[in-house]
Amino acid sequence: MKNLMKVLLLISVILLGTGCIKNPYQKQSVKKTYTSDKDVLMFILDGSGSMTTADKSGNIKMVAAKKMLKDISNQLDNTKTNVGLIGFSSGCRSTKLLIEPNNNNLEHVVEVSNSIRASGKTPLAQSIKTAGMVLKDIKKKVNIIIISDGEETCGGNPVYEAKRLKSVYGIDAKIYVVGYSVDNRTKYQLESLAKAGNGSYYAAKDASALNTIITNITDELDIKSDNWEGNTYKFKINFDSSSAVLKDKYNEQIKKLAKYLINTNYSAEIQGHTDSIGNAKLNQKLSEKRAKAVANRLIKFGVPKNHVYAVGFGELAPIASNKTKQGRYENRRVEAHIIKDGKMDISYINKANSKNKINVRNATTSSFIGYYKVLDTKRTYNKYHLWMELYANNQGFHSDYINNAKQTPNGKEDLAWKFDKKRAYLTLDYSNNGKKPGWAKFKGKISGNTNKFKLKGHWGNGTKASVIMIRITKDELDCMKRSGIFNNGRCSK
């Protein structure tokens, strides 16, 4: 029997050597030579089992990573970069080149990434080695983005392999490493990996942070469509003076944004702007018409009506000097600010509204967009306060504090709000239009300006109260989110 086993083993070895039997444990080899006519962006996506767990905001990490790839792929310009994708998803020998980095269709990146099913361990070293074999004959600039939530668990040395990209494969690469909701031990290894790869390390605590980080990296690399700046789509659309007529020559740009919104299922706030020539009230109405013209065109190209919000800012937010003809031309514009999970960057809008102190009689919904602290008139700040973010889609977020201790379990809760211009009547609904019965609600006719006013209503326990709403800066908002107290421009505990 023993002799028979030896014979069978010998036959197996011979067959494996000749290639007649595929060795399931054989490391992947990259035999094909790859070239590229432009710079390359290579993603290495962690598909280990831990990516099936939730981040600090409750998002499944692999789902969030795929969503991010869909978002960024729809923003990249394939005349500026080729994109590759390396992934692993079923153990230490599962590393594969999923997307070849040459003249690819960016939509293919989304299709392939969607097929990844996370499981198994984390062969980071083998993935970096695979990148070296794939990219060794490419003479263009190479940028590698690694997204991982864990350290190497297959016995390899990612730092060593990162150093070999230059010394062995001759690749002039820069490695950006994103640690997605990682512990301190993993962070140390990933930071060392980024340093060895002549790159940078970024900590992403949740899906929103992951998206922001990748957006910032691709902005830095200048490989996105020229229309994109962060999460803002800058239409190259400018209107004639005193006109809201949208010319057909701008349709191609609008179709590109429509495709992005349809593919990602995101929403957009379409913002209209004017120069400062003429009456401010008329400019406000004109800006609204310009925004509606673009919003209607997006809807015509297939974007759902409830995914587009038209808002006018009049002459509040210029991007150039109104003292020159060219500057005024640039200010007569429309922009699309992307709303992801109900949020977008409203810092500059908040700043513009703070600076102008708009009288409530002249206010529009856009006049209330911004950051606020809310104080109970019968309690001191230390006893009770809350912060709010109000967005143009009549949604917002808030978190409240008793004795400076955060009460909101998830860090923030959503709310709904609306402004009735005819009656100068503002409503804050912390139940988010009845979705959370029994929660607080404040409303009332307000006077003065949009930066400071009072409302009356009741708390969640039914207690009647009045509150003071005060517009604040992003610095003060961030301070409050850290349970700090903001005084004289400084945050302290």
Whole-model pTM: value is 0.72
- Overall size of the chain counted in residues: 493
Domain definitions of the chain by residue range: 39-221, 228-345, 366-492
Res 221: pLDDT: 94
Res 31: pLDDT: 58
- CB–CB of 139/46 below 8 Å? no
Res 45: pLDDT: 96
Written as tens digits, the pLDDT of the chain (493 aa) is 445 444 444 444 334 343 333 333 234 455 577 888 899 999 999 999 999 999 988 899 999 999 999 999 999 998 999 999 999 988 899 999 999 988 777 888 888 888 889 999 999 999 999 999 999 999 899 999 999 999 999 999 999 999 999 888 888 899 999 999 999 999 999 999 999 999 999 999 989 889 989 999 999 999 999 999 888 898 888 888 888 999 999 999 999 999 999 999 998 989 899 999 998 889 989 999 999 999 999 999 999 998 898 888 888 778 888 999 999 999 999 999 888 876 667 776 788 788 777 888 888 887 898 999 999 999 999 999 999 999 877 888 899 999 888 887 667 788 899 999 888 899 999 887 777 777 889 998 888 899 999 999 998 888 999 999 999 998 899 899 888 889 888 998 7
Within 10 Å of residue 354's Cβ, how many Cβ atoms? 16
Pick one of 3.90.480.20, 3.30.420.40, 3.40.50.410, 3.20.20.140 as the CATH number of 39-221. 3.40.50.410
For 39-69, the DSSP string reads EEEEEEEE-SGGGGSB-TTS-BHHHHHHHHH
Mean pLDDT of the chain: 86
Res 255: pLDDT: 95
For 215-258, the DSSP string reads HHHHHHHT-B-TTEETTEEEEEEEPPTT-----GGGHHHHHHHH
Of 109, 106, 43, the C-alpha closest to 256 is 106
What class has domain 366-492? mainly beta
Helices (H) and strands (E) in the chain, counts: 12, 22
- CB–CB of 274/285 below 8 Å? no
**3-state DSSP assignment of residue 404:** coil
One-letter amino acid of 5:
M
One-letter amino acid of 200:
S
Res 108: pLDDT: 83
- CB–CB of 101/140 below 8 Å? no
Res 343: pLDDT: 67
Strands 96-99 and 395-402: unpaired
Res 14: pLDDT: 39
- Six-digit token pair at 73? 């792929």
- CB–CB of 390/399 below 8 Å? no
Looking at domain 228-345, does it have CATH number 3.10.20.30?
no
Phi, psi of 65 (to 5 degrees): -65, -40
CA R_g for the chain: 27
Which residue is associated with the tokens 């290495």? 44
One-letter amino acid of 290:
R
- Six-digit token pair at 208? 């929103």
Q: Give the whole-angstrom CA distance, residue 477 versus residue 485.
A: 10
Res 314: pLDDT: 86
Q: What is the dihedral of CA 226, 230, 235, 241, to 10 degrees?
A: -120
With 0-12 CB in 10 A as exposed, 13-18 as middle and 19+ as buried, what is 263?
A: middle
